[in-house]
Chain A
Amino acid sequence: MVDPAGMGISGVGPVGPSLPAQAGKGARAGEAGGPSFREILLDSIREVNHLQKEADTAIQGLAAGTVDDVAGVFTAVEKAGLAFRTLMEVRNKLVDAYQELMRMRV
């Protein structure tokens, strides 16, 4: 994903502890050959997917009686939920930023 106006992706704002750092990396992506923003996004999606699978497994374990640690299950569910919400927030901010860009008369 290129950054034509040179604005830097830091316009996304703080949405989690690690993302601003990654956003900073993304701003330099085109220049330094580091991970592209696309890769960072895909990584986040994979992570959310992974956490949701873990949460699913924990829930099924609770129902089946193979898991006794209720707090552990709820923690896994909460983690997956927060990761999902973070991803959605980032996605929405990106969409907003893109739309604003498109509205600019250059």
Chain B
Amino acid sequence: MEILRGMFEVGALPVVERTLSFTEARHAALAENVANAETPGYLRRDLPLDAFRARLIEAMERRRPGEPLVPIDIRKLPAPTWGRSPDSGNLRHDGADVSMEAEQAALAENALLHNAMAALARRLYGTIRAAIQGRSEAS
């Protein structure tokens, strides 16, 4: 049904959805870093936010009116270049390179973005629901 595509593929909704997929995936990577902070030889993993945003902006610019937003393959994002423990290498005898502070900060920042996007998604879907129901507020 064309009418459905028109509702869900235009505007901010697909952008919000892509961002939510990203923040969920990133949380898993960061949680793994926290769990493995003292595992010998473990190198931290991340899905860098700036790389994702670059892809997002690219996808938005390529989108023509009426066309859907292209999907973003999260697994293809480049490896992180920050967040490593400053004393990894010589000082950490176990070879793990996780900086707990960096991971905590990243977790918090990621959660804030996720929650903001989820709240906005709720609003956007609510408006669609209200319009469908012919009411001023979705029930």
Residue numbers of A with Cβ under 8 A of B are 52-53, 55-57, 59-60, 62-66, 70, 73, 77, 81, 84-86, 88-89, 92
Contacts and interface: CB of A to CB of B under 8 A. Distances in A.
Interface in B15-64: 15-16, 18-19, 49-50, 53, 56-57, 60
7 contacts: A57-B12, A59-B12, A62-B120, A63-B15, A66-B57, A81-B127, A92-B134
Contacts of A63: 12, 15-16, 18-19, 53, 56, 117
A60 B124 CA distance: 12
B136 interface: yes
B108 interface: no
Interface of B: 11-12, 15-16, 18-19, 49-50, 53, 56-57, 60, 116-117, 120, 123-124, 127, 130-131, 134-137
A87 to B, nearest CB: 8
A85 B137 contact: yes
A77 B19 CA distance: 18
B134 A77 contact: no
A53 B56 CA distance: 18
Interface SS of chain A: helix, strand, loop or mixed? Answer: helix
A73 B19 CA distance: 16
Nearest to A95: B134
Contacts of B136: 84-86, 88-89, 92
Nearest to B10: A56
Contact of A56 (B11, B49, B50, B116): B11
Contacts of B19: 63
B134 A59 contact: no
B128 to A, nearest CB: 11
Given A59-B15, A84-B130, A64 B137 contact: no
A57 B11 CA distance: 8
Given A55-B12, A63-B56, A88 B134 contact: yes
